[in-house]
Chain A
């Protein structure tokens, strides 16, 4: 039985359509990721599901309650970690936890085992004002506050934005352990590399779900050949590829250029090398690679653009 059921959800702010015809289900005990760039509509979706915002049209039920009418019932059983730091910066770590535990009518002692692994990391700083914690520690404290009433469903809106890579990794390990405690997690992130850590992901672009599946299925759905090559002339190459003698999609990917070809690499490799030599582009490490979720996202976005035009 699905814990969240969303059908044809729409929300607009004036002329800006933040969500367009979004439909999806979240099942029990899964980590469901909403992946998309800034401004895609992630926070709007979370605000509707956490009953802080009313949708314009469409239906959404959370824990079998309608977000429009039964919002008080929903609020009792969900935990929410908002996209911006939403604790009291002048209260200490401990004071924040005690305050929110009381607000959620929860017993700290009873639910301590649930947050203990995270709380232990915070213990050395328990007298420190929350505003003076590092980004990662802030998020861990916020997570403790969101978990202290043992919610059935946990909403995390971009929990790792502005957090260093080590803490991000740690944070995701914590999420896996939360899932093992039987709590269903809905998490949004702009980081594509984090998407693979979810059980299922939905790719959100301009308020629309452009793809929803397990990360593995999304990657195996990738059509075309993904070629990666390393070059110091990345900007020049980017310009030149628009005049390439073969159809391709290309984008810089760190220090590499990723090129999606419509034919196998063996057929096009000579042509590609000749093209690069002709324009005196130095390159190395040219090879076919397995796509990441980010590559899939870019491919899907480009394809949907191509269909629209």
Chain B
């Protein structure tokens, strides 16, 4: 144990003497959260829209009122024909046109389904999909209120349950936590381990009678602690600045974060066991772990929309499972029973990778 303490002390000395790295490791998470939260935010307010009301009855008026009252939309014109709608798209810069069919109220009372047509400007795909979701959410709640009187429904394809306002910060925070943990834990520990190989100090440690597990653990724990601090920083900012809810248990959330940290640290160790230089370790961690995690974990692009091959590929990156688990805990308020499979997958990945790196470290070539 005395050796482990000494290795930890040495590693912390390295970290505290390298002020730039320390600063980056603590500042990057804050910057990323604020950046994603404020600038890449896809929330849209007061979007210009047109409504073509073909029935002009009391229910269609009620629906229009509800759409306007949401605050997301500003109805700038009430076109009469479809060519008017085309003009609105060009001249009035509308993002969306809603066409309410004739006899809306009658259909709503007598038929099982009423179809409302939405035409959206998809030149900006993200804006279009967000606005579509808003409309769908409004229609959904409109029918819910109306259903008090009747059993009919407006046809809706999507359900929006856990993030009814499609608040984008909620989607980004789990992703940012994942990426930060990969940078701080996986990248830093793979760099620091391969640095020892590169400078030859690993040789000195190898021929010393100290237990190799101590060497590995002692090198990785400090970065796990740093990464844990970053995670807490991200969570605090998300809650305080962006009012991100944590519906589940905070302790469960932190537990899942620690398990993912173990997985990320094991990835870093396994990478450093395969390469000889810091540069290789960095390139492989960035290209082989960071980028695929950012692209395939469902954080930037929904996994369901990917080609089948990439959906399969996404499974081997721990980030996917972690994001599902913490989204469930934070947004759905899931308990451990609901997410234990994801935790088990992460833990299994961590153990396998740790085993590989420990056996590789002591193997002589």
Residues of A that sit less than 8 Å from B by CB: 50-54, 71-72, 75-76, 78, 80, 82, 84-91, 95, 98-100, 102-105, 145
Contact = CB atoms under 8 A, between A and B. Distances in A.
A77 B3 CA distance: 18
B61 to A, nearest CB: 73
A72 B209 contact: yes
Contact of A99 (B6, B18, B206, B365): B6
Interface in B1-34: 2-3, 6-7, 10, 13-14, 17-18
A62 to B, nearest CB: 11
B199 interface: yes
Given A86-B203, A88-B10, A53 B208 contact: no
A75 B209 contact: yes
Given A95-B10, A99-B6, A103-B6, A87 B207 contact: no
B205 interface: yes
Contacts of A50: 207
B208 A75 contact: yes
6 contacts: A75-B206, A75-B207, A75-B209, A78-B207, A90-B14, A91-B13
A13 B144 CA distance: 75
A82 B10 contact: no
Interface string B199-239: 11101111111100000000000000000000000000000
B169 to A, nearest CB: 39
B127 to A, nearest CB: 50
Given A100-B208, A103-B210, A105-B3, A52 B203 contact: yes
Contacts of B14: 88, 90-91
Given A95-B10, A105-B3, A90 B208 contact: no
* 4 tightest Cβ-Cβ pairs between the two chains A and B: A86-B200, A102-B6, A103-B208, A103-B210
B364 interface: yes
Contacts of A100: 204, 208
A91 B17 CA distance: 9
A50 B208 CA distance: 11
Nearest to A131: B199
Contacts of A145: 204
Given A87-B201, A90-B17, A99-B10, A80 B3 contact: no
Given A103-B7, A105-B209, 13 more contacts: A53-B365, A75-B208, A75-B209, A80-B203, A84-B199, A85-B200, A86-B199, A86-B200, A86-B201, A86-B204, A88-B199, A90-B14, A104-B208
Given A88-B201, A102-B3, A52 B364 contact: yes
Interface string B298-327: 000000000000000000000000000000
Contacts of A51: 207, 364
B345 to A, nearest CB: 35
A89 B201 CA distance: 10
A99 B14 CA distance: 13
Contacts of A71: 364
A52 B199 CA distance: 15
A82 B200 contact: yes
Nearest to B4: A102
A176 B7 CA distance: 33
Contact of B205 (A90, A91, A103): A103
Interface string B52-90: 000000000000000000000000000000000000000
Contacts of B207: 50-52, 75, 78, 80
B126 to A, nearest CB: 46
B276 to A, nearest CB: 13
B142 to A, nearest CB: 65
Contacts of B3: 102-103, 105
Contact of A104 (B10, B13, B209): B209
Nearest to B17: A90
B6 A54 contact: no
B10 A54 contact: no
B208 to A, nearest CB: 4
A91 to B, nearest CB: 6
Contacts of B18: 90
B44 to A, nearest CB: 50
Given A87-B201, A88-B201, A76 B6 contact: no
B201 A105 contact: no
Contact of A80 (B10, B199, B204, B364): B204
Contacts of A105: 3, 209-210
A80 B18 CA distance: 28
A82 B6 contact: no
Nearest to B201: A86
Contacts of A104: 208-210
Nearest to B10: A99
Contacts of A82: 200, 203-204
Contacts of A88: 10, 14, 199, 201
A143 to B, nearest CB: 13
Contacts of B205: 103
Contacts of B17: 90
Nearest to A102: B6
A108 B204 CA distance: 17
Contacts of A72: 209
B343 to A, nearest CB: 35
Contacts of A75: 206-209
A53 B204 contact: no
Nearest to A95: B13
B362 to A, nearest CB: 9
Nearest to A145: B204
A181 to B, nearest CB: 21
A53 B201 contact: no
A90 B365 CA distance: 29
A264 B81 CA distance: 120
Nearest to B6: A102
Contacts of B2: 102
Interface in B310-365: 364-365
